Chain A
């Protein structure tokens, strides 16, 4: 009797995890109902054109015009910038740690990357505001403008140092540990016989890493990258502090922008009316679904490799 009761109690705890996900989803759906009825699917890709300035008016709480377009754009741009910088470094670090590192260094280096993952977002933001952004403003941005200004992606009209690029850099630093530690995990899962076979055929160390480690682990590495993307999409505090918070769409990566998470962080507590709050909740709902899909996909890929399922050979 007590046995059954105990088992049911544990089942209940486990089921509550399901319940929480369902509850979050239903609350978000309920909260975004108003905005959904008003704008429908247009919310994510259309905007009102202002009759005076002839410019798109994306986000106007006073007149009740809401469109998530600039936020979706900002989230995508800053996340992909972050991935672009983080992925090569993370894979390089994982290769170094699994294949090249002297054993003495392995422990401390793994610990350091673990620490990098444990630093709270708000402290990254604090550091970015006072150290990274001045650095970008004084040295990096002028150089980028000089070298690549002609492409139009690096305009010189924002002297603050904030913007998409700053957000991308801080995101790269923040998602590095997760990508790198998962990549390390899938690389360690590659059996040693694969490495030995490559070396026995006369491969150099790099050729061995390329042929037997990265080839075999590539599905898992893609999974790790997608998981990093999931983190980047939802990252809030650090991004809010450095992206400049201006609801527009700009071609220049050095311009001020916003992301889905940062607009919620900035405006939710002081939303001016129900429609405003509902629109913000709808952005949260979109973020929820996107991160669930991204995370599920990434987990499946990582599991496929580390669970001992044979990696697909071409």
Chain B
């Protein structure tokens, strides 16, 4: 009897140890690929980076040299368009959810729709943008009828909306009600109170959300494949196909030339540095306490 209990207790201890070991092992297995990706990216990318990368446009296939200057500028143009679409609508939606619609059925439905929209694959956004802007000859939107920077920007902008909207809402909900009441008690109209008191108090958090959305779409490739299309030459026109950093990385990664592979690695390093910087900044701001000024 006693020995039986001892065996049982030994088994339990062993199981506990095994579970701990497995949890540690899975943590290691998760961290390993990340470290592998980063080390390889830095090693490959840094050895391929040069001044030419930032100043020259791509050389024709097979020739060595050239850079991705046009793709970097193109990405900036696309992101400007997408931010102009995604950020105002997202913040407006967030303000509605937090300030006007709190607890209503409409707000719940919109919150749910935003979450679902967040999960729609990016390639589907590309198909939708194609059907909306690239293929019709006439539509309520400008620049229709052909591949254009504008269509790519719209696809990316739509993808930004849910992230911006939900973080804005979350940040506004953190603003204490006393702040709102104080503003209203002073006779400030509601819209003024929302914009220059509540939103202003939560603004570091809202900016964080925008950065997060920005970092996410900066690396998107799939929605650009048949909207922005890519371009071997300089172009900043919204009406023309435009180059983008992730698109160029994709094209070079699957090309047969070593020189283009090197450029792909360099481009990937530049892209990841931008994104990691954004994420780290976001983390720094949020860990400092977003609303320290308010409390």
Contacts and interface: CB of A to CB of B under 8 A. Distances in A.
B152 interface: no
B275 A125 contact: no
Q: Most chain-B CB neighbours within 10 Å: which of A12, A21, A264?
A: A264
B19 A112 contact: no
A27 B130 CA distance: 9
B20 A205 contact: yes
Contacts of A233: 121
B178 interface: no
Interface string B25-40: 1110111011011001
B174 interface: no
B123 A234 contact: yes
Given A24-B128, A236-B123, A292 B116 contact: yes
A234 B124 contact: yes
A159 interface: no
A100 interface: yes
A127 B40 contact: yes
B117 A17 contact: yes
Interface in B125-178: 125-128, 130-132, 135, 158, 161-162, 165
B113 interface: yes
Interface in A79-109: 88-93, 95-97, 99-100, 109
B276 A230 contact: no
B103 interface: no
Nearest to A5: B191
A14 B12 contact: no
Interface string A104-127: 000001011111101111111111
Contact of A123 (B116, B158, B268): B268
Tell me what chain A mostly uses at the interface: helix, strand, loop, or mixed: helix
A196 B109 CA distance: 38
Interface in A163-186: 173, 176, 180
A265 interface: yes
Contacts of A88: 26
A136 interface: no
A296 B114 CA distance: 11
Nearest to A91: B26
A219 interface: no
Contact of A126 (B18, B31, B194, B268): B268
Interface size class of A (residues with CB under 8 A): 35 or more
B290 interface: no
A3 interface: yes
Interface size class of B (residues with CB under 8 A): 35 or more
A234 B226 contact: no
Nearest to A170: B33
Nearest to B107: A14
Interface string A200-232: 000011110100000000000000000100110
A116 B16 contact: no
A247 to B, nearest CB: 17
B7 interface: no
Interface in B95-120: 95-97, 99-101, 106-107, 109-110, 112-120
A-B residue pairs, 9 tightest by C-beta? A234-B121, A120-B219, A13-B92, A92-B26, A295-B119, A6-B191, A206-B19, A14-B96, A96-B23
25 contacts: A3-B191, A10-B96, A11-B101, A13-B92, A13-B96, A17-B93, A92-B23, A96-B26, A118-B215, A118-B216, A122-B221, A122-B249, A123-B219, A127-B36, A127-B41, A173-B33, A206-B16, A234-B119, A237-B221, A241-B250, A264-B126, A284-B124, A288-B121, A294-B119, A295-B118
Interface of B: 12-13, 15-16, 18-20, 22-27, 29-31, 33-34, 36-37, 40-41, 44, 88-93, 95-97, 99-101, 106-107, 109-110, 112-128, 130-132, 135, 158, 161-162, 165, 189-191, 194-195, 215-216, 218-222, 225-226, 229, 246, 249-250, 253-254, 261, 264-265, 268, 271-272, 275-276, 279, 283
Given A120-B221, A287-B123, 4 more contacts: A9-B92, A27-B132, A116-B34, A234-B121
